[in-house]
């Protein structure tokens, strides 16, 4: 894996641990030589993961719709910034640039992005891994819901198993075949 798309909140959340997690993930990606692909924002967890990767010498590629850039939430210091027309175009471009996808803590946008990438896996539109980083049990309720939806016959067991769930970021990267150290 050369590039990882990280979906996460445009807000910092209510606990400092969320920002610490995002920063640790950004630093780890840079240290391991994995390009960060993300939504291009400078705020919230998105800004934290990007800043940490950049501070550690990593490559960071942002993809942002013009409407969000017009609101001045775009990150000015990225390695590359792709400006697209819509949120749908953003997801398509991030998918084109990434080898795998992971959701850190986030809200509706994060769920939308990961759900679409996971659905594309289900439909065989790509074969790229999708994952949740469930540090501190953030996604426990979502995982419970997905198990319930599987039990009720709305999600197949095969599709459920295609969503990887990890509590530790390094273990996730190892499972995705990321390099151990930047070379």
Where exactly are the structural domains of the chain? 3-174
Structural fold of domain 3-174: Rossmann fold (3.40.50)
Question: Are the C-beta atoms of 76 and 96 separated by less than 8 Å?
Answer: no
Rg of the chain over all Cα atoms, to the nearest angstrom: 15
List CB contacts of 111: < 8 A, sequence separation 6 or more. 103, 142
pTM of the shown model? 0.95
Question: Are the C-beta atoms of 17 and 133 separated by less than 8 Å?
Answer: no
pLDDT tens per residue across span 140-169: 999 999 999 999 999 999 999 999 999 999
pLDDT tens per residue across span 45-90: 999 999 999 999 999 999 999 999 998 789 999 999 999 999 999 9
């Amino acid at each position: 894996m050369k590039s990882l798309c990280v979906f996460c909140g445009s807000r910092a959340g209510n606990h400092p641990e969320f920002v610490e997690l995002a920063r640790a993930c950004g630093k780890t990606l840079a240290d391991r030589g994995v390009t960060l692909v993300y939504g291009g924002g400078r705020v919230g967890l998105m800004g934290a993961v990007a800043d940490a990767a950049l501070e550690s010498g990593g490559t960071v590629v942002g993809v942002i719709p013009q409407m969000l850039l017009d609101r001045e939430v775009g990150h000015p210091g990225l390695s590359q910034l792709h400006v697209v027309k819509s949120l749908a175009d953003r997801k398509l471009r991030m998918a084109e640039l990434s080898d795998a996808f992971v959701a850190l803590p986030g809200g509706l946008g994060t769920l939308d992005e990961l759900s679409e990438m996971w659905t594309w896996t289900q439909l065989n539109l790509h074969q790229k891994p999708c994952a949740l980083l469930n540090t501190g049990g953030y996604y426990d309720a979502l995982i419970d819901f997905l198990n319930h939806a599987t039990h009720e016959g709305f999600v197949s067991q095969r599709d459920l198993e295609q969503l990887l769930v990890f509590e530790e970021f390094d273990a996730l990267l190892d499972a995705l075949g990321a390099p151990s150290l930047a070379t």
